[in-house]
Amino acid sequence: MREIIIKSSVPLTSAQKQRLEKGLREADKSEELRFRYVIDAIVGGVMIVDGEDVYDASVASELRRIRKNSEKILHSHKDGVSVKDIPDLLKSKLSEMIDHKPDFEHCGKVISAADGVIKVEGLNNCRYGELLLVGTGGFALAMNLEKDTVGAIVLSDADSAEYGDYVYTTGKIIEVPVGEELLGRVVNPLGMPLDGGKRISGDETRCIESPAPQIIDRQKVSEPLETGILAIDSMIPIGKGQRELIIGDRQTGKTSIATDAIINQKGKNVYCVYVAIGQRAAGVGKLISTLKKHGAMEYTTVVLTTADDSAPLQYIAPYTGAAIAEQFMYDGKDVLIVYDDLSKHAVAYRAISLLLRRPAGREAYPGDVFYIHSRLLERAAKLSDEMGGGSVTALPIIETLAGDISAYIPTNVISITDGQIYLESELFHSGVRPAINVGLSVSRVGGQAQRPFIRKVSSSLRLDIAHYRELEVFAQFGSSLGDSTKAVLDSGAKTVEALKQNEGEPMSFLKEAVSLYAVSNGFLKEIPLRCVGAFLRELYDHFEEKQPALLRSLSDRGALDHREEIRFNEVIEAFVKEFTERHAEQ
């Protein structure tokens, strides 16, 4: 059964309905028809909607045709007559048609609506990216500016825009609430609360789209943003103002790294923004619970879109997060923002572009898919002291398929960012957590964003692990190994074991420093492989209890002088002896 919608300005009589239904049934006898009558502001006449086919015999459409022809004639007049010179009778009819709005020339009408995308006729003064009012309460974002129509994406409920709805320009780009009242809140991409808390006042707002800071307004990335993850802070350091990509297959711990980085900012005067793009609601709920458990929601804002949300909302979500972060940055604060993940963002933009009938390129993505990510990530920066010295550090996440980092979207984002942390499924399933592939991971800022002590003790760590991985492959085929090869394999296995870290347990700078010093200076040689984790934990506790002055000196200066380093060695040597004797007895 097919439903036919019949719109009229006044209720039809029974006789009119019978004649109309009889004619429609005779025109199409192949299928049973059901009729639904709707009262609409079409001035007069009728409009028949049959699925995607619309038969418009309304007075409103005739008035639009008259207005369009009048505008063409008036604009082509040699004296440049404006639209305001339309005869008073026509002007009054048009004003009546759009509910008596005085700025009738800024009003259009929906001529097609499907899957959250609408086409609007009559918005000659619309700008790209402008916020449009649809009907009485819906909103849309102008995306396509064509000769006679405007293509827009619906930001409210996708079913809220229908054929014939009136659309008004607002003269504004989308603005969202910003400021400290958003800390600890979960909001949607339009800045509306989703956590059941009090209403957000919106006294301070910011456009979701804004130009990235100019080069002259930036300064060099030199201050470390410590994630609390030993493998990252030692070999792939992140600085404030950097853009470091987290990339890997699904279920390899990408979100866990971002979560630990947020938790580690507690007490460091760094605000955090987590943008969930098309994620499972249950997964985001678990993440929020983890942040609350560690007291991290106090300085964090979550911008949430789930997989059930429309593609337009998923598309604007990261720009909303960037606007919230930028406000803090221009106030002189340091911000960490996580985009989880930009793969889903690209898919949402692809869906919008295909519905808008834009030309498709590689993998059906539109030609400007690179631009939507570059203009987003370029907004991360470390501002100069004259601009307040604030910073936004971005951790975008990209999901790969079967480890293919050479796919279209991954290579795009790799070329935009300042390095990447590559997580490998094989390492993850073998028990190495975090499952970071050191060979494919890199930080283009490097040691510039590390504390001197960490830079010194971790300088050879990457090469040691690479050498161990290489020998590990060849050792599988060799029946006998030399002593030197066995020593390298043993040392490498203990280094990998030392870099393992549980989720939700970020390490302080001092704990990282003690662990790295013990690893890089060969103090694990006498420690059994299975005891490496316990040894490093107990070693730090021993320093805290017996050598607080040494740790305080390291914390204050970020380095040790010659005498302190000798003392450091003596303390570790004594503890190694004590630890091995204790475990030998056990």
97 has pLDDT over 90:
no
Give me the CATH number covering residue 471.
1.20.150.20
234 has pLDDT over 90:
yes
Is 455 contained in some domain?
Answer: no
* Residues 321 and 394 both lie in one domain: yes
Q: Report which listed range, 54-63, 111-120, 149-158, 322-331, is most confident.
A: 322-331
Is 481 contained in some domain?
Answer: yes
Is 74 contained in some domain?
Answer: yes
* Residues 212 and 63 both lie in one domain: no
Q: How many domains does the chain have?
A: 4
Q: How far is CA 579 from CA 24, 172, 538, in A?
A: 91, 67, 9
Each residue of 353-402: pLDDT tens digit? 999 989 999 999 999 999 999 999 999 999 999 999 999 999 999 999 99
Q: How confident is the model at residue 30 (pLDDT cuts 50, 70, 90)?
A: confident
* Residues 331 and 312 both lie in one domain: yes
Here the tokens at position 286 are 């678990």
DSSP 360: B
- According to DSSP, the residues that pair with 420 across neighbouring strands are 245, 442
Compute the distance between CA of residue 539 and CA of residue 512 in angstroms, rounded to an integer. Answer: 11
Q: How confident is the model at residue 65 (pLDDT cuts 50, 70, 90)?
A: low
Residue 68: predicted pLDDT: 55
Residue 66: predicted pLDDT: 59
* Residues 280 and 352 both lie in one domain: yes
Residue 62: predicted pLDDT: 64
For residue 434, is the peptide bond before it cis, meaning its omega torsion is within 30 degrees of 0?
yes
Domain final residue pick, 173, 198, 226: 173
Q: DSSP secondary structure string, 438-502?
A: TTT-EESSGGGGS-HHHHHHTTTHHHHHHHHHHHHHHHTT-S---HHHHHHHHHHHHHHHHH---
92 has pLDDT over 50:
no
For residue 334, is the peptide bond before it cis, meaning its omega torsion is within 30 degrees of 0?
no
Is 192 contained in some domain?
Answer: yes
Residue 67: predicted pLDDT: 57
- Picking from 288-297, 383-392, 460-469, which range would have the lowest pLDDT averaged per residue? 460-469
pLDDT, averaged across the chain: 87
Is 456 contained in some domain?
Answer: no
Q: How confident is the model at residue 326 (pLDDT cuts 50, 70, 90)?
A: very high
Q: How confident is the model at residue 342 (pLDDT cuts 50, 70, 90)?
A: very high
Q: Residue range 151-166: average pLDDT?
A: 84
* Residues 254 and 351 both lie in one domain: yes
350 has pLDDT over 90:
yes
User: pLDDT higher for 583 or 278?
Assistant: 278
Domain final residue pick, 125, 141, 173: 173
User: pLDDT higher for 104 or 16?
Assistant: 16
The rounded percent of the chain whose pLDDT value lies above 90 is 61
Q: DSSP secondary structure string, 153-220?
A: EE-S-GGG--TT-EEEEEEEE-EEE-SGGGTT-EE-TTS-B-SS-PPP--SSEEES--PPPPGGGB--
Residue 88: predicted pLDDT: 44
User: pLDDT higher for 542 or 172?
Assistant: 542
User: pLDDT higher for 127 or 243?
Assistant: 243
- Picking from 87-101, 183-197, 396-410, which range would have the lowest pLDDT averaged per residue? 87-101
Give me the CATH number covering residue 414.
3.40.50.300
Residue 496: predicted pLDDT: 94
Compute the distance between CA of residue 516 and CA of residue 554 in angstroms, rounded to an integer. Answer: 14
Compute the distance between CA of residue 166 and CA of residue 526 in angstroms, rounded to an integer. Answer: 78
User: pLDDT higher for 98 or 206?
Assistant: 206
Is 211 contained in some domain?
Answer: yes
Q: How many CB atoms lie within 10 A of CB 491?
A: 17
CB 360 within 8 A of CB 298: no
557 has pLDDT over 90:
no
Residue 497: predicted pLDDT: 95
Q: Residue range 484-488: average pLDDT?
A: 87
Is 298 contained in some domain?
Answer: yes
Catalytic residue check, 444: yes
User: pLDDT higher for 583 or 80?
Assistant: 583
Q: Residue range 238-264: average pLDDT?
A: 96
Residue 170: predicted pLDDT: 86
- Picking from 59-73, 110-124, 383-397, 482-496, which range would have the lowest pLDDT averaged per residue? 59-73
Domain that holds residue 224: 181-450
| Cβ-based neighbours of 584, under 8 Å, separated by 6 or more | none
Is 512 contained in some domain?
Answer: yes
Q: Say which of 19, 65, 250, 444 is annotated catalytic.
A: 444
Find the distance separating the first CA and the last CA of the chain, reported in whole Å.
80
237 has pLDDT over 60:
yes
Q: Residue range 481-487: average pLDDT?
A: 84
Residue 374: predicted pLDDT: 97
- Picking from 38-52, 310-324, 421-435, 545-559, which range would have the lowest pLDDT averaged per residue? 38-52
Give me the CATH number covering residue 148.
2.40.30.20
- According to DSSP, the residues that pair with 433 across neighbouring strands are none
Each residue of 510-521: pLDDT tens digit? 999 999 999 999
SS3 breakdown of the chain: % helix, strand, coil, rounded to 5?
Answer: 45, 20, 35
* Residues 374 and 512 both lie in one domain: no
How many alpha carbons lie under 13 Å from residue 44 in its C-beta half-sphere?
5
